[in-house]
Amino acid sequence: MERKNGPAVRFDGIAKSFDDGASFAVAALDLEIAGGLFVALVGESGSGKSTLLKTINRLVEPSAGSVSIGGEPVDGQDPADLRRHIGYVFQNIGLFPHMTVAENIMIIPRIGVNETVNQVPELLDLVGLPEEVADRLPSELSGGQQQRVGVARALAGEPGLMLMDEPFGALDPVTRDQLGEAYRALHDELGLTTIMVTHDMAEALLIADRILVMSAGRIVADCSPQALLAGEGGEEASALIAVPKGQMAKLRRLEEGA
């Protein structure tokens, strides 16, 4: 795949209410994400992270405001066509169990993108899988391998923008760390714009360029990992940072006491 210049994403007054305006999952938010960045959305459960992410590919329609990708409003585009040009990876993977790995990867090209190009070997190589898995069913793969197939499928339409919703959350810590690093390398290699929802603050700190901390539908901190670690994100961000910091301190004490 050729290197792309990922598009910028802009939110103008975006809001989403699920109960006729009584409360908001996302509340009147203005935000711009520059092309080529890797951005992590973090915050407690119910803070609005996944809802905000899904307004980008119209899996959630906002109650107010608009979203633009590369300067083009998404609300004027056919949702199915829009999604063919945006990579989307989520925790439950969503592979079709009756299809082979190759068939799963090529499902998006088969419905309208790059129909004449068989990218399977290249895509498997990109995500670190051997070509021989192409003929296997998802049930024959480990959880980590299945998630790699999910990433390969998301890349099959050659998107400039990747949306990731807790993509590695169901994996064991070692596999999760390996896939996070592998995807970050892919992001850089392909010049993507990536927006990732995660509950794992350490994961966000280690692989993102910019971290957005959400609370009650609002962004309460917008910082680099270095700035967050230095305490510049405010009280709610510091509370999230305290978890990995506390774990690290406990590990150091264990080492010293060994």
Instruction: Give 50-85 as a 3 state SS string.
Output: HHHHHHHCCCCCCCEEEEEECCEEHHHCCHHHHHHC
For residue 115, the model assigns a pLDDT of 45
Tokens of 254: 């264990």
Q: How far apart are CA 177 and CA 246, in angstroms?
A: 19
For residue 3, the model assigns a pLDDT of 60
44, 197 contact by CB (below 8 A): no
> Mean pLDDT by 10-residue block, N- to C-terminus, for the chain (258 residues)?
80 88 83 96 91 94 94 91 89 86 80 55 90 93 90 89 88 85 92 94 92 93 92 85 81 78
38, 1 contact by CB (below 8 A): no
Residue with structure tokens 């961000």? 237
Q: How far apart are CA 195 and CA 38, in angstroms?
A: 6
The residue extents of the domains of the chain are 9-85+159-257
Beta bridge partners of 41: 197, 212
For residue 220, the model assigns a pLDDT of 93
Q: Is 63 exposed, middle or buried (0-12, 13-18, 19+ CB in 10 A)?
A: middle
User: Radius of gyration (Cα) for the chain, nearest Å?
Assistant: 19
Which backbone phi and psi does 242 adopt, to 5 degrees?
-60, -25
Q: Is 59 exposed, middle or buried (0-12, 13-18, 19+ CB in 10 A)?
A: middle
For residue 133, the model assigns a pLDDT of 94
Tokens of 166: 């807790």
What CATH number labels 9-85+159-257? 3.40.50.300
Q: Is 136 exposed, middle or buried (0-12, 13-18, 19+ CB in 10 A)?
A: middle
In terms of Cα–Cα distance, which of 131, 128, 122 is closest to 147? Answer: 128
87, 162 contact by CB (below 8 A): yes
Return the H-helix or E-strand segment holding 155. helix 143-155
For residue 23, the model assigns a pLDDT of 75
For residue 111, the model assigns a pLDDT of 52
For residue 10, the model assigns a pLDDT of 97
**Taking the C-alpha atoms of 52, 64, 85 and 189 in order, what is their torsion angle to the nearest 10 degrees?**
-40
